[in-house]
Chains A and B, each alone.
Chain A
Amino acid sequence: MEALIASAVGLMTAAGIYLILRLRTFPVIVGLSMLTYAVNVFIFASGRLTVGLPPILDSTASGYTDPLTQALVLTAIVISFGMTAVIVMMALGAFLSTGSDRIDDAAEDRAETGGRAE
């Protein structure tokens, strides 16, 4: 199971990184989502994997999983929704006001302003 989780984290990270290196906003947003999955699973898995031992106190339970990483990841999931929404909005605003969804400053713009952010 550990190998499966590790390979999934690895692949999702790779996909996320590849997508955030694309030149348009939408793939970058998707890439960040993929990275979010990868990071959340990473943090979750750092509490070690357990099957069938939920973090609910019960007198009959034989053991518990690590509740702390779960609590960390739970808020991370919700916050990442908020952050995704913000960058989506920024991407939308940028596209609507410039007519382009390129993520890099166009080379000719850079040449015009001497590479200075105006």
Chain B
Amino acid sequence: MASGVVAGKQGHSALTGLAFAPDKGRARTTGQPAATRTTAHNQNGNRPGMSLALIAALPFLGALLPGLMIRAGRTACAVSTGAVTALALLLLGLNAPAVLRGEVVQTRIEWLPQLGLNANFMLDGLGLLFAGLILGIGLLIILYARFYLAKADPMGQFYTYLMLFQGAMLGIVLSDNILLLLVFWELTSLSSFLLIGYWKHLPEGRQGARMALTVTGAGGLALIGGMLILGNIAGSYDLSVILTQKVAIQSSDWYLPALLLILLGCFTKSAQFPFHFWLPHAMAAPTPVSAYLHSATMVKAGLFLMARLWPVLAGTPEWFYIVATTGLVTMLLGAKIALFKHDLKALLAFSTVSQLGLITMLLGFGTKAAATVAVFHIINHATFKAALFMTAGIVDHEAHTRDIRRLGGLRVLMPVTFAIATLAALSMAGIPPLNGFLSKELMLEEAAHTVWWQNPWLVGVLATIGALFSVAYSFRFVAHVFLGPMRDDYPHRPHDPGFGLWAAPALLAGLVVLIGLAPMATAAWLVDAAAGAVTGAAVEVKISHWHGLEPAALWMSLAAIGGGLMLLGLFAPLSRLWEGTPRPEAKRIFDGLVEPLATLSRRITDALHDGAVTRYFAIATLAILAAGVWAFVSGTHQQGDHALTPVALVPAAGWALLMVTTCAIVALHRQRLLVLILVGVVGLMVSVGFAYLSAPDLALTQISVEVATVILLLLALNYLPKTTPAESGGARRLRDGVIATLAGLGAGGLIYALMTRDFAFDTIAAYHLANAKTEGGGTNVVNVILVDFRGYDTFGEITVLGIAALVIYALTESILRPGPANDRLRLWKAESQDAGDRHPLMLVVATRLILPLAIMVGVFIFLRGHNLPGGGFIAGLVVAIALVMQYMASGFEWTAARQKIDYHALIASGVLVAAATGIGAWFNGLPFMTSAYGYVTLWPLETFELATAALFDLGVFLTVLGAVMLSLASLSRIALRAGETVNLAPYDIDPAAGRTVKEEAR
């Protein structure tokens, strides 16, 4: 290895010397020591800039827009998406001057400091370059996609995925915390999965998306390991700290494992050999996705990370041999395959693989000059490759094929597209004066000076061969598609598309020319800033077209162009040779690896999940029981000497009733209606028990929930069988009985043990009792806990309740949609006869009288809840029951017509009121959900207390009311569909008229 080091470590300085020779007029770096920049970094760091977090958050917020805006039309959808991206780009632009001055903008938000995971963002030159590419090209893609996507494609979905992806990419390049970076890294894998598989109806799309996710996801796992090691070595997960720890990291024993794992993540993401195979399969995505993912974003994430960690990872022989060699091999392999691909996008895909290899190789060289060239080529590649993908998309869009063999002669038919494609392709080929030429020549110069394993010419020759192939495939893209004779057998007669479709690639082609003609004015400043950030030293590049006849790169360029043209001239025989050579098919190997794994996991899943739910229940019960017994037996516990509560006669009677009823439920469970009544008895006894045992709030809640539950089950039972058939045999019943008895003994024994022992520690109940009045402003401690101390929990709970109600609504909708369930309902025949008088006059009159009273009671219970038993939960249930009674008395339709309350809105307003109250605490300078209270005197009332908690409780009240009513109303709609008749009057028999009121069948 010692000799090999020449290239890596010692060769480093030799190379730098060459690269810095002034007369070459090439990448120049003023030799400022790395330490200087580090200090500057720290001094200039912490520039307050919330805007960075906002820039990263904007695309995620923007992802919400397209789904809404698509209702206003496709253009509105695209404009709103573009506006969000443009806003983020503007914010980035506002930060740019500081970054270009050499400062580092930072935003620090503590998230989980205990884990070292903070939402820290930073923006330096490298971040600026990438963020600019992501947002700038993103904007063009949004424009292009507006005109590319067909009418049938769900555009809102597309833009939502695109924005998610954009946000994830921005997060990667702006993260200062590597754990945060990992989160965004995984997000790019997930969101790119959605984008690649966007055309869900295409099997290639789905398979390509799955393959991309598998490869990049696996790489992501490796990366997590590598990053954690890196963070551990550096003692911090903040990049700004890690980047100062070069010596510590490179001398650590863990350097190599960390390097390998991190590179695995980078190589999979950037499609480096041997992980390059996923990228061409991802071409099944719509072209705007390919253009975005494979020019400026997804695949550049790996390059970004290599560049980001370059200061601490690069410069060792390990880095040189792994990274530079992988890059070189990828470049050659990708370029060779690209030449022989007949699908336009496949050609571009492999050319992308090749170009990414080129950049990886440059980063792998480990010299500052090479890294600077890498940065420059990243810019150039993004411009010409995005333009090429877009033109490929245009050709596909207009000619209805991407097969090069079926194209040719489009020059005359599509002159604008031809011009754009030619400029971009010539740049890719490295033809002067375009921008691709500039960076490619710089690359060749670097390659020419690189020594690989004591071999001074190998890298240079191989790089020239790679360039030669890239000339060939670039020219093929132009020659075989646009040149040649016009054909008369295109699948669709092509012509130039509208301005909307060619505007974006034309702009990029303009950039290609502009950067090519005036690199110092258009790109050098950005390269300086970005390369400065990569190399950790101030960089001042001088890019020019002519370096005299002396440099090797000139002759290598000429050789590449000449050889490339010859290669294209020999294309037909070479292609036959290529087709005739057997080669490993990556997809088959991949499938061969994945398939057995999938089969194995399916077998295991099938064996465990065989569809017998009762078996799962039995196993789960026994497992929990065993865990409980084991914990109890293996632990230590005190003596059970807690003073017992004496038993009085009445509670004992209630207990006996409960026990008997419970036994009866088990014994009679096949008679469903009867069981329902018995369950009501149990609920009543539980509620009475709560009242006896000092829990008035629980008693009130339990009894009102009981009413609602029984009504609910009655409504449901109407459309279920009325009896349960006896199916299980004696053995089965015995088995279940044993399991049940064991579980019962376990639960009963555990609670008995608990109740007969004193608390091992002081409970936190004392805190709540002591502070309820002083901090929560109420004397009913249970209610104060609910709306104040644990208000956040309650907020979560009412949200869950609201969601449950919406789920019920959605289930109802699906039942009522045309389908077997709906058919069965329509043909429903009641098993039992209807009651003669379904809406008895007495019930109608009584419920009408009770309604205002019940509502009054509800209000009363609500208002006193903070100080006496009551509160939003109970009040909500009481009012809900009063309303349900109206439905029961006069029927659903009749009542619904008179009660115009939208239950969805009720739930939403409840949750919103509760949230707004919680947020209100912020304006008071207090944490979320802290309540405030005061005393108000309002003549002629007594002085009363007014707490924001009451407002929160109002939210609880509204949500509970809405949720209960929506659930019951949903069930009633099912009854209506089952052919229940609709009455015109509130009652069936009108005693005044002395006749039956007519019913109208629905």
With a cutoff of 8 Å between Cβ atoms, the chain B residues found around residue A67 in the complex are 765, 768-769, 772, 781-782, 785
The answer to whether the Cβ of B912 comes within 8 Å of any Cβ in the partner chain is no
Please give me the residue from chain B that is nearest to A105 by CB atom. B611
Give residues of chain A (26-47) contacting chain B, Cβ–Cβ below 8 Å.
26-27, 29-30, 33-34, 37-38, 40-42, 44-47
Is the CB of B646 closer than 8 A to any CB of chain A? yes
CB pair A78–B960 under 8 Å, yes or no, is yes
| Given A27-B724, A93-B821, CB of A4 within 8 Å of CB of B647 | yes
Interface residues of B in 656-678 (CB under 8 A from A): 658-659, 662-663, 665-666, 669, 672, 675-676
Cβ contact within 8 Å between B780 and A55: yes
Chain A's interface: helix, strand, loop or mixed, by majority?
A: helix
The answer to whether B737 and A6 have CB atoms under 8 Å apart is no
Is there a chain A Cβ closer than 8 Å to B150's Cβ?
A: no
Contact between B804 and A86 (Cβ–Cβ < 8 Å)? yes
Name A53-110 residues within 8 Å CB distance of B.
53-58, 64-68, 70-71, 73-75, 77-86, 88-93, 95-99, 101, 103-105, 109-110
Task: Report if B721 contacts A (CB, 8 A).
Answer: yes
Contacts of A88 in B (CB 8 A): 712-713, 716
Closest to A53 in B: B694
Across the interface, which residues of B come within 8 angstroms of A44, CB to CB?
690, 693, 695, 698
Known contacts A23-B614, A90-B811; is A29 also within 8 Å of B755 by CB?
no
- Contact between A9 and B747 (Cβ–Cβ < 8 Å)? yes
Give chain B nearest CB distance to A84 CB in angstroms: 6
State whether A56 and B869 are in contact (beta carbons under 8 Å apart), knowing that A13-B748, A21-B614 are contacts in the complex.
yes
Tell me which residues from 868 to 921 in chain B have a Cβ below 8 Å from any Cβ of chain A. 868-869, 873, 877
Tell me, in angstroms, the Cα distance from A35 to B638 when the chains sit together. Answer: 28
Cβ distance B550 to chain A, nearest Cβ, rounded Å:
70
> Does B606 lie within 8 Å of A68, measured CB to CB?
no
Q: With A30-B665, A67-B765 in contact, is A1–B646 under 8 Å at CB? A: yes
> CA separation between A98 and B737, bound complex, in Å?
29
Q: Is B773 an interface residue (CB 8 A)?
A: yes
Given contacts A14-B744, A67-B769, contact A23 B693 (CB under 8 A): no
Q: Is the CB of A22 within 8 A of B669?
A: yes
Q: Which residue of B lies closest to A48 (CB)?
A: B755
**Residues A64 and B781 in contact, CB atoms below 8 Å apart:** yes
Contacts of A46 in B (CB 8 A): 751, 754-755
**B514 to chain A: which residues have CB within 8 Å?**
none
Give the contacting residue for B739; candidates A21, A26, A80, A98; CB below 8 A: A21
Q: Does B841 contact A (CB under 8 A)?
A: no
Assess whether B647 is in contact with A57, with CB atoms less than 8 Å apart: no
| Assembly CA distance A24 to B717 (angstroms) | 13
- Contact present for B717 and A26 (CB under 8 Å): yes
Q: In the complex the two chains form, is A84's CB within 8 Å of B747's CB?
A: no
Residues A71 and B786 in contact, CB atoms below 8 Å apart:
yes
Point out the residue from A5, A37, A93 that lies within 8 Å of B814, measured CB to CB.
A93
B999 on interface, CB distance cutoff 8 Å: no
**Contact between A73 and B873 (Cβ–Cβ < 8 Å)?**
no
Q: With A and B bound together, what is the CA distance between A6 and B750 in angstroms?
A: 8
| Chain A residues in 8 Å Cβ range of B801 | 78-79, 82
Is the Cβ of B748 less than 8 Å from the Cβ of A11? yes
Which chain B residues border A12 with CB–CB below 8 Å? 658, 662, 682, 744
Which residues of chain B have C-beta atoms less than 8 A from A23's C-beta? 614, 727-728
Q: In the complex, A52 Cα to B693 Cα: how many Å?
A: 7
CB within 8 A of A117: which of B611, B615, B739?
B611
* Cβ A1 vs Cβ B614 within 8 A: no
26 pairs of residues in contact across A and B, judged by CB atoms under 8 Å: A1-B646, A4-B652, A10-B745, A13-B747, A14-B744, A18-B739, A19-B666, A22-B614, A26-B717, A27-B675, A30-B665, A33-B679, A33-B709, A40-B702, A56-B780, A67-B768, A74-B782, A77-B705, A78-B701, A82-B804, A84-B709, A92-B719, A95-B719, A96-B820, A103-B613, A109-B611
Known: A86-B808, A96-B824, A115-B606. 18 other contacts (CB 8 A): A8-B659, A12-B682, A15-B662, A18-B737, A19-B665, A44-B698, A47-B763, A54-B869, A55-B695, A68-B763, A68-B764, A70-B782, A74-B782, A78-B801, A85-B712, A92-B815, A99-B824, A105-B612
